[in-house]
Amino acid sequence: MNPVSSRRPGLHQAFVAIVFAIGVLALLDALHTMQASAVPLGVYLNYLGLGVLVVASGLLAVKVPALSASLSISETFLFILVIYFGPAPAVAIVAIDGLMVSLFRGHKAIKHVAFNAAEPALSTWVAAHAYYLISGAQPLAEAPASLTAIGLAALAMGAVYFLFNSVLNALAMATDTGTSPITIWRKYFVWVSLNYFGGASLAVLLAVNTTKDGVLVSVLASAPLVLVSYFTFKSSMGRLEDENRHLGEVSRLYLQVVESLAGAVDAKDQVTHGHIRRVQTYALRLARQLGVTDQRELRAVEAAALLHDIGKLAIPEHILNKPGKLTPDEYERMKLHAPLGSDMLSAVDFPYPVVPIVRHHHENWDGSGYPD
């Protein structure tokens, strides 16, 4: 079944609307709390400074090659806000961060912008309240606490934030595309979970080692070290992306060589002209229908389908293109094309199991067939 065929636009719009509504409630609760707490001007400056770091680092997210996922250090500054000043300023700032990142990435659809602003606010609200529920502590700006008192609670906050953020995004993508949310979650989100735990750990270390009046100064003082790590990681990801692009070009060139060899077989065998391409089409369709999703296995089927008859290059043309029925001796000679093909290809260091498929493509499920 084509995944797009199971799209349910109404369900997607309803889901986005629900997340947006709850996210707005979380944001309103945060704004009400900040207004009712009569925060001094100096604390608001800390909010502003950390908020700038959250937004700026969110805009500088690094794309992970081959995953269509991004990593950033914004969670570190976000978790510092939660630990030091409570849930309210963190929820307000992460909503602005989501809005800015969405606009920066060129999202024009209102539903995308609304979801990207509301979902982080909702996820942060839940994660921050989970942190204070587990730790039983007060914001560090109000009462100091030790690393042992808040360390595990901070890791739990990172886990809750990751789960809410990743699951809500996976469900939004799933309802929009008709794909399984579990498949999306495993493909795009599970690999970046350590980013959240790392952010929580670093936030705790920075928060417990600063004074009430020096939290922003301490964070800014550590920012160069964080930025060096960020740009080092970005450079590594850039090199990895270049290598992946080079491998993709080599893979395309390799496939072109395979297709040229297959064309040579197809040109020699005038009886079954076009057979190779048909086999490739049906084999790939059948593999996908049987649930084969591993790209290595699919590429093996794709290449082997093109090369499965390469052994026919060693079969005399008067047998290969005989218009009538083959004699028993001719048929025995024809059957050699399967092991001959695997022998020819065994010298090639294929990155996937092509040779066994070529050797056994005339074996039958009931144990008959050839050559084995």
pLDDT tens sequence across 286-306:
999 998 888 888 888 988 888
Q: Are residues 313 and 217 in the same domain?
A: no
Percent residues over pLDDT 70 in the chain = 74
CB 119 within 8 A of CB 166: no
Q: Are residues 135 and 283 in the same domain?
A: no
Q: Are residues 33 and 91 in the same domain?
A: yes
d(CA 103, CA 99): 6
pLDDT at 98 over 50: yes
Q: Are residues 274 and 225 in the same domain?
A: no
Look at 186 and 343; give whichever has higher pLDDT: 343
For 269-298, what is the mean pLDDT? 83
- Residue 319 has a pLDDT of 86
Q: Examine residue 249 and state whether it is found in any structural domain, yes or no.
A: no
The number of residues in the chain equals: 372
Q: Are residues 120 and 218 in the same domain?
A: yes
Q: Examine residue 303 and state whether it is found in any structural domain, yes or no.
A: yes
d(CA 44, CA 36): 14
- Residue 76 has a pLDDT of 81
Q: Are residues 167 and 275 in the same domain?
A: no
pLDDT at 339 over 90: yes
Gyration radius from the chain CA atoms: 30
Look at 277 and 120; give whichever has higher pLDDT: 120
For 74-90, what is the mean pLDDT? 84
Smallest Cα–Cα separation from 16: which of 127, 174, 214? Answer: 174
Q: Is 315 helix (H, G, I), strand (E, B) or coil?
A: coil
Q: Examine residue 109 and state whether it is found in any structural domain, yes or no.
A: yes
pLDDT in tens, 154-165: 888 888 998 998
CB 154 within 8 A of CB 198: no
Q: Are residues 220 and 275 in the same domain?
A: no
CATH of the domain at 292: 1.10.3210.10
Count of domains observed in the chain: 2
Q: Are residues 58 and 170 in the same domain?
A: yes
- Residue 2 has a pLDDT of 38
Q: Examine residue 282 and state whether it is found in any structural domain, yes or no.
A: yes
Q: Examine residue 215 and state whether it is found in any structural domain, yes or no.
A: yes
pLDDT at 70 over 50: yes
pLDDT at 50 over 50: yes
- Residue 3 has a pLDDT of 38
Domain span at residue 94 reads 3-230
| Cβ neighbours around 184 below 10 Å, total | 18
pLDDT at 307 over 60: yes
What is the residue type of 3?
P
d(CA 356, CA 366): 18
pLDDT in tens, 187-235: 777 667 777 777 777 777 777 766 555 556 656 666 665 666 666 656 6
Percent residues over pLDDT 90 in the chain = 17
CB 83 within 8 A of CB 203: yes
CB 138 within 8 A of CB 169: no
- The band of 25, judged by pLDDT with boundaries at 50, 70 and 90, is very high
pLDDT at 149 over 70: yes
Domain boundary among 199, 230, 261: 230
What is the residue type of 146?
S
- The band of 5, judged by pLDDT with boundaries at 50, 70 and 90, is very low
Q: Are residues 189 and 274 in the same domain?
A: no
Q: Examine residue 264 and state whether it is found in any structural domain, yes or no.
A: no
- The band of 357, judged by pLDDT with boundaries at 50, 70 and 90, is very high
Q: Examine residue 235 and state whether it is found in any structural domain, yes or no.
A: no
For 247-271, what is the mean pLDDT? 69
For 149, the token pair is 């008192």
Helix (H) or strand (E) holding 71: strand 69-71
CB 102 within 8 A of CB 4: no
Q: Are residues 13 and 150 in the same domain?
A: yes
CATH of the domain at 78: 1.10.1760.20
* Residue recorded with tokens 């050559």: 371
Q: Are residues 290 and 213 in the same domain?
A: no
Give the chain's mean pLDDT.
79
Q: Are residues 37 and 153 in the same domain?
A: yes
2, burial (CB in 10 Å: exposed 0-12, middle 13-18, buried 19+): exposed
Q: Examine residue 369 and state whether it is found in any structural domain, yes or no.
A: no
Domain boundary among 182, 208, 230: 230
User: Minimum mean pLDDT among 68-77, 277-286, 288-297: which range?
Assistant: 68-77
Domain boundary among 176, 200, 230: 230
CB 57 within 8 A of CB 77: yes
Q: How far is CA 253 from CA 246, 250, 256, 304, 372, in A?
A: 11, 5, 5, 16, 33
Helix extents (H) in the chain: 9-36, 41-59, 74-85, 87-104, 110-135, 147-177, 181-188, 193-208, 215-268, 275-289, 295-307, 317-320, 328-335, 337-345, 354-359
